[in-house]
Amino acid sequence: MNTNFKNNSIRLRYLSKLISIISSFLLIFTLPVAAENLVARMSGHWSPKHQSAIHSQIFADEVTKRSNGRLTIQFFPSKQLFGIREVMGAITSGAVELGVLLEW
């Protein structure tokens, strides 16, 4: 029983060191990416004067403001990027980052 405890103790120390090393590498290599400003495009199908388009633009502006410019959302109304039927496929393929699927 004593050797079993000793083996578990060695495994735990090894595992904690391994996790520390992996975490350090991840932190080192992700810091430059985290420092970059991100831009996300948001596709909408409403005309710019529609209430939903107005609120989508307010949302985009608020995200940019609250993130201190680190994340900017560009809103494209009037099916400039994709229509309501194409937006889900565009999101899943990575052609656009955000899309609106609601119709009132």
- Reported as a single tens digit per residue, the pLDDT across 34-92 is 567 899 999 999 999 998 899 999 999 999 999 999 999 999 999 999 998 999 899 99
Judge whether residue 2 has pLDDT over 60.
Answer: no
Contacts of 61 (CB under 8 A, 6+ apart): none
pTM of the model: 0.64
Is 104 inside a domain boundary?
Answer: no
Q: How far apart are CA 3 and CA 8, in angstroms?
A: 9
Structural domain containing residue 59: 37-99
| Number of independent structural domains in the chain | 2
Query: Is there a single domain that holds both residue 44 and residue 84?
Result: yes
Q: How confident is the model at residue 100 (pLDDT cuts 50, 70, 90)?
A: confident
